[in-house]
Amino acid sequence: MTRQPGLARRAEALLDAAVVSTAPVAGGDVATATKLRLSNGTTALMKTLSPAPAGFFEQEAQGLRWLAEAAGGVHVPDVLAVDADCLILAWVEPGRPTADDAAAFGRRLATTHAAGAPAHGADHDGFIGRLPLPHRTAPTWAEFYAVRRLLPYAKLARDRGALSADDAAAVEAVVRRLPALVPEEPPARLHGDLWNGNVLWGLEGRASVVDPAAHGGHREVDLAMLALFGLQNLPRVLDGYQEVAPLADGWEDRVGLFQLFPLLVHACLFGGGYGARTAALARSYA
């Protein structure tokens, strides 16, 4: 049994329990994750980042709590403590989901989305990875997706050399067509960064979601993100989702449209072939 004294003392200052042991957890690209065993018999996950951008963990905790307010929605681990340099969550013991578990997750995700949001966006900005994420509201999803997602990140990718001028022009051409491409719906309560790594399957088969970039927006955004890097049993997730909240006609044709933003984020963060992949997808909608 090991114990990192400095990290344990930091956790104990925020929790009403002693830390018996600590263990590193693999996976996070941004923060350092550590499993804590506490003297009260519970287990927790501690995420740390120093220095963290101002509001980084506070915004994550706020997003988790907002998602958890959706009665009957997708499960969210309890926020045990949060401070400028760390976030402590209830531990989710990993399990292996069945097809029925996946369908149940789809139904719960639909319920979370249906809980709604006041507007497209939020009353505060957030983060996607280490990048700032503007959330200032817009009257329509097409406008929000254009001016808070595609255009700013296409510019950043261009500035970082991850997107050529021609490729950026392809994204801008899609922006001009968004009102005709995207059916307007009331703003859903979105996770906002729902790739498969942010879906944790517990021992009992229940899915929990973590690391949100929560805001109000088009519900197909979360579903497209689940498809981008491949969630286990995704067809059953979609089946369960549609049992509760059928998707608008043509949603399959819009999956790539809603993947443009996360691909741009990856181009900004990692370069490589993400810029070219974004542009190829954008040209399919031009």
Which residues are catalytically annotated?
Answer: 193
Structure tokens at 208: 């929990």
46 forms beta bridges with 34, 88
- d(CA 27, CA 197) in angstroms, rounded, equals 8
Encoded amino acid at 228, one letter: L
Structure tokens at 225: 């993100």
- Tokens 């907002």 belong to 66
Residue whose C-alpha is closest to residue 210's, from 194, 221, 233, 228: 194
What is the number of alpha carbons within 13 Å of residue 31 lying toward its C-beta? 22
Q: 190 vs 13, 46, 89, 90, 209, CA distance in Å?
A: 32, 24, 20, 21, 11
Q: 195 vs 9, 18, 148, 169, 223, CA distance in Å?
A: 33, 34, 20, 27, 9
Length of the chain: 286
Q: Tell me if 251 sits within 8 A of 227, measured CB to CB.
A: no
Q: Tell me if 260 sits within 8 A of 282, measured CB to CB.
A: yes
Encoded amino acid at 165, one letter: A
Q: Tell me if 78 sits within 8 A of 89, measured CB to CB.
A: yes
207 forms beta bridges with 201
- d(CA 171, CA 280) in angstroms, rounded, equals 9
